[in-house]
Amino acid sequence: MHFPDIADLTDAALAQRLQRKLDNKTKPPGSLGRIEALALQLGLILGSETPQLTQAQLVVFAGDHGLAARGVSAYPSDVTWQMVENFLAGGAAVSVLARQHGLSLTVVDCGVRHEFAPRTGLQVRKVGPGTADALEGPAMTSAQCEQAVRNGMDLVRDLPGNALLLGEMGIGNTSAASLLLARLGGHDVAECTGAGTGLDGPAVQRKIAVLREVLARHADVTGPMAVLAALGGFEVATMVGAVLQAAAERRVVVVDGFIASAAVLVARGLNPNVLQRCVFSHRSGEAGHGLMLRHLGVSPAQPAVPLLDLGLRLGEGSGAALAWPLLVSACAILGEMASFESAGVSQKN
């Protein structure tokens, strides 16, 4: 399968100009903390000393998982399609937050076990009615996995703007994310697995046992695409394609929680340069997300540090939407805040 070319954004001269501009604002150097680092990153992604975010797109990727029949979730699979209806009706948390922040919200049926009536805000990119049970065989065939990735690439090509906020919905998809982290990150699955939708302690242990069996069933599977096909979900694979295309188009990619980070993990395996475009919105309350963020660190000195740490574990893109105003503020600081010279303010001795 052909993946888009994703250029290295390293630009020492632009980084130096951005840092000088930030240091010359009417404030002590570094006093805006992480907002300054965020402003510099956005400038590098968008290739500008005055980056502007335009027509931001919040996309919720939805799909069902055959593994959900193994009791790895506290909720039945029907909740996936019911929540898609809730998103489209404007009643979900992410719907509220998208309205509040003026974000365009699109819901994508990547593989939900339900047929939706056509309407505004819904895109049907269904590969199948949910993945297969990964304990019995690959969750997806290679062809299905490639189709889902292509669907994500095509979807982003058709969206306006220069920022993509990732969201997802799929009962059982924390299990898929845990499996992907365990296999691609080389971690014990118990470290990668949490309560998901709200399992109690004994149920989490049963979930871990099921996931161990799945990993054993696919012990010989290696490589990002093969692992994604064996263990992932249609919504995760579609998100991988969306991340790759957004990165190729030099869009800002705002990553939500555990499942969205799992898609970035796969995309990074296909091209490490995707991480340069990624802003990690928050650290999820899901057990494996902190481990995922540490694993995704660009280097030991440059971890994938999230903007927020609020104990969120809803998914949907809710954390990405909550962090969005920080990106807007970072751009405004670069573009609108006065310099010492323009404001006639004395600098430190």
Catalytically active residues, by annotation: 316
User: What are the residues facing 164 on neighbouring strands?
Assistant: 57, 253
Q: Which residue has the tokens 């269904």?
A: 126
Counted residue by residue, the chain has a size of 349
DSSP classification of residue 338: P
In angstroms, the CA 293 to CA 284 distance is 10
Edge-to-edge strand ranges of the sheet holding 104-111? 122-124, 104-111, 57-63, 163-169, 252-255, 278-280
In angstroms, the CA 303 to CA 120 distance is 39
User: What are the residues facing 123 on neighbouring strands?
Assistant: 108
Q: What are phi and psi of 25, to 5 degrees?
A: -70, 160
What is the pairing mode between strands 278-280 and 122-124? unpaired
Q: Which helix (H) or strand (E) holds 169?
A: strand 163-169
DSSP classification of residue 347: P
- Cβ 274 vs Cβ 6: under 8 Å: yes
Rounded to a whole number, what is the largest CA-CA distance in the chain? 70
DSSP 143-166: HHHHHHHHHHHHHHHT--SSEEEE
- Cα-based distances in Å from 247 to 36, 242, 271, 327: 22, 8, 10, 17
